[in-house]
Structure 1
């Protein structure tokens, strides 16, 4: 399935105009939902070295200083103060496979997290596409309503003039006044909706919409719903993540079974005791050395015989979670299939609505011209003219809404199929984030004092963005 190409998303537009590709690129860099998902994936990457550490050698140094402030009577040898230093190293040899399987489970969840990050990208992009098209739709609707108010205002003045000469009745004037009042109310509602759409755009993109250009046609759309489902089952990131989590849960069961197996480790200890030459020794007793050093190496085997049922409970718990992961995979698959089939139906229905709305606009335009001409010779009433005008604006609003719905449904369909992520969009000026690079760094980290730079905010704050108004840039949709 072909992904979305930048050549399809990039439109020739005047300077300062915003394209859909540009909005998506800004969201990719500065959307906080996406940046937070990347940071969470970095945290998930660290589970491999965390689990692996239990299988690597460990070394520690302990020092204890004692000052004897109260010495009991009868002591022949008095040591006022001592310092004891112990160096110890432990080397695990065998742990029943617990660490090996824990590391495998951690790797599986890293892979699942990478798929979930893909899903987050497509989700954020779907919201950007919806917000972008919402602004375009609502700008068109505001323009239609403003034109309608202007037309009705002219109609009302004409009706009043005709009433003065006795050509129409007071009822005709009242009908014109009522329709103008309703049109003003509709305009206020449309302007409020436009402001809300602009604010949602700011929430997703981080900047106010400026002269948005119409979005380009979307490539890669399926020819049939069966094709869409087939691609989604193979490429959808949520399904892939569910499979990786299922795989990881299997390793959790193996790691839990290791709790009943023996373990073997080696150790070495070096002790040094120092009394700083301050030992008080009575006459006739041998002198106490000021320093003593000892060392030992050995093996330690542990064979669990009874642990109060703990390992059995842990195994059963891991198996239950594996069962849940198995069911979650089916849940996810069902959900994706429903989304694909519903999205395909919505996309197709919106395309049919577009055709119907375009035909309605053509017919209503012709009807309005005829009603106005017939009204001028007395064959039609004012209310019939008003109704014809309202039907025309209704069909225009329906067309703008259907175009928005069709585009958003098409993009959501592509997203559900797994082809609407950053790697598919090929956005200009964007360096793709590679989650595997951080995972490799985490797996290669063995030093206790390694770290990363302090987190820096990557997202754009919108608190300083001016509150939006109902201004419209560019012409409305036809």
Structure 2
């Protein structure tokens, strides 16, 4: 049963306390089960996904690309230097020329220094910085989303494994029951109707088993898709700590910590800087420049008149250029209006994101609490159905109950067990989804062991501090694992159970 972790109280814990509890809870799971050394824990599955999930790795690469927008915007405000060289070989020289220059080499060095650009560069950098911050929050949201899918897949495998085992046991029991019914029919204790009812219930149980096995295979394949490895001997997940005591508290935390809301806020801020950058197109710009020229004829110049032609000539000039836009066909105003409309859209998206988060938190909280209630009801139902089945079987032995009543009692017990397994899965997944919506289910909160956390700000600092034209990053490489080589999943021991049940008389 899903419960609040140790130390939970009506006072809202801080983010660090929630993170410490959740990480310690997941870490402690490795010490609970000591016998099977190869057992997979939820923390281990999350660590594998953190390193090898392609969705998460692609999100990190996209964030690295977003980091580069800052130096790209900054470059427009820095000096630029270039050299242009032109070599001319005069292959056809017309007659009657006083001066003949067979070949020349012209080399020009140019320096341009932006002095004032109306705030275009400054606001462009600020917008890029805001979008980098938004990207970091989006990366947080991607981590939480991937982890939520891993938790769901992990618990799906556990649930469907239990349901398969319930159905296998049911098939075995109904096979034994059918044989016993056949024996009693042979001695005249039961009718052909009783045998037909037993046969029908066994056939239905076999069909239910096949469906349960198919569901288990699907859950295993989804686990492989998210984790990149085959699920083997999964341990029961630990209780989730730090869950809120009421929905208002959950919403309050989510408004402050949810990464989607933070990303929308930063995007809205960036859109505001875009408006300021667009206004710069109507303002004057000032820049300084310097040119150095060298013209070399390699001493091959010939003249038909007595003049001195030097082999090389140099010149240099420095100056400043002021540009004052007077009329640009209405383009600046259109760009400003466009930026303002996009800012409005970003502000509306911020409200829309907040609405979505509030809805998600409230829904997850309701699902979590409802699942807890279902767990309690299912546990009570299992206890009552077990007692009822025992009594119905005993009364059937003395002729007070029919075979169909026994079969119904058995089916009700199976149904209650399936409801309990499903409710436990739903409660855990809803609880983790609630933590994710509250911004407390990311890698930094889970204390994943044996891995190095990716710190997006480290790459941002490297990108922002790079001023060289020849600085590259490492060659692109794939970090995620392929799953094409993993074996197709199956539900083990299914054939033997069905064959054994099918051997019963019909």
TM category, shorter: over 0.9
Q: Indicate which of 14, 33, 55 corresponds to 1:33.
A: 55
Determine whether 1:141 maps to 2:170.
Answer: no
Determine whether 1:321 maps to 2:338.
Answer: no
Determine whether 1:346 maps to 2:363.
Answer: no
Indicate the larger mover: 58-67 or 271-280.
271-280
Q: Indicate which of 382, 388, 392 corresponds to 2:413.
A: 392
- In the other structure, the counterpart of 1:468 is 489
SS state at 1:82 partner: strand
Task: Tell me the distance in 1 between the aligned counterparts of 2:157 and 2:198.
Answer: 31
Determine whether 1:370 maps to 2:391.
Answer: yes
Aligned residues: 471
SS state at 2:347 partner: helix
Which residues of 2 match residues 7-86 of structure 1 at below 5 A? 7-10=24-27, 11=29, 12=31, 13=33, 14-86=36-108
Determine whether 1:425 maps to 2:446.
Answer: yes
Determine whether 1:261 maps to 2:275.
Answer: no
User: How much does 1:73 deviate?
Assistant: 3.6
Determine whether 1:89 maps to 2:111.
Answer: yes
Indicate the larger mover: 218-227 or 5-14.
5-14
Which residues of 2 match residues 234-253 of structure 1 at below 5 A? 234-253=256-275
2:22–2:242: 8 Å Cα contact kept in structure 1? no
Q: Indicate which of 225, 232, 247 corresponds to 1:225.
A: 247
Where does the alignment leave 5 or more consecutive residues of structure 2 unmatched? 1-13, 494-506
Task: Tell me the distance in 1 between the aligned counterparts of 2:303 and 2:450.
Answer: 81
1:98–1:258: 8 Å Cα contact kept in structure 2? yes
1:268-288 Cα offsets, whole Å, 9 max, x none, are 000111112222311x33132
Where does the alignment leave 5 or more consecutive residues of structure 1 unmatched? 473-478
Task: Tell me the distance in 2 between the aligned counterparts of 1:164 and 1:466.
Answer: 47
User: How much does 1:455 deviate?
Assistant: 2.0
- In the other structure, the counterpart of 1:436 is 457
1:362-389 Cα offsets, whole Å, 9 max, x none, are 1111111111111111111111111111
- In the other structure, the counterpart of 1:475 is none
- In the other structure, the counterpart of 1:476 is none
1:357–1:395: 8 Å Cα contact kept in structure 2? yes
Q: CA RMSD in A?
A: 1.0
Q: Indicate which of 358, 366, 382 corresponds to 1:337.
A: 358
2:131–2:266: 8 Å Cα contact kept in structure 1? yes
1:228-255 Cα offsets, whole Å, 9 max, x none, are 0000000000000001111111111111
1:158-182 Cα offsets, whole Å, 9 max, x none, are 1111111111111111111111111
1:262-304 Cα offsets, whole Å, 9 max, x none, are 000000000111112222311x331322211111000011000
Task: Tell me the distance in 1 between the aligned counterparts of 2:390 and 2:222.
Answer: 39
Q: TM-score when scaled to structure 1? A: 0.97
Task: Tell me the distance in 2 between the aligned counterparts of 1:312 and 1:275.
Answer: 51
User: How much does 1:310 deviate?
Assistant: 1.0
User: How much does 1:399 deviate?
Assistant: 0.4
2:279–2:332: 8 Å Cα contact kept in structure 1? yes
Task: Tell me the distance in 2 between the aligned counterparts of 1:429 and 1:110.
Answer: 28
Q: Indicate which of 218, 232, 240 corresponds to 1:210.
A: 232
Q: Indicate which of 461, 468, 475 corresponds to 1:447.
A: 468
- In the other structure, the counterpart of 2:328 is 307
Task: Tell me the distance in 1 between the aligned counterparts of 2:486 and 2:65.
Answer: 32
Task: Tell me the distance in 1 between the aligned counterparts of 2:22 and 2:358.
Answer: 25
Task: Tell me the distance in 2 between the aligned counterparts of 1:101 and 1:306.
Answer: 23
Task: Tell me the distance in 2 between the aligned counterparts of 1:314 and 1:75.
Answer: 55
Determine whether 1:6 maps to 2:23.
Answer: yes
Task: Tell me the distance in 1 between the aligned counterparts of 2:239 and 2:247.
Answer: 19
1:6–1:428: 8 Å Cα contact kept in structure 2? no
User: How much does 1:462 deviate?
Assistant: 1.0
- In the other structure, the counterpart of 1:127 is 149
User: How much does 1:75 deviate?
Assistant: 2.2
Q: Indicate which of 136, 145, 148 corresponds to 1:114.
A: 136
Task: Tell me the distance in 2 between the aligned counterparts of 1:49 and 1:241.
Answer: 21
SS state at 2:484 partner: coil
Q: Indicate which of 370, 379, 383 corresponds to 2:400.
A: 379
1:365–1:392: 8 Å Cα contact kept in structure 2? yes
2:291–2:318: 8 Å Cα contact kept in structure 1? yes
- In the other structure, the counterpart of 1:101 is 123
User: How much does 1:72 deviate?
Assistant: 3.1
- In the other structure, the counterpart of 2:503 is none
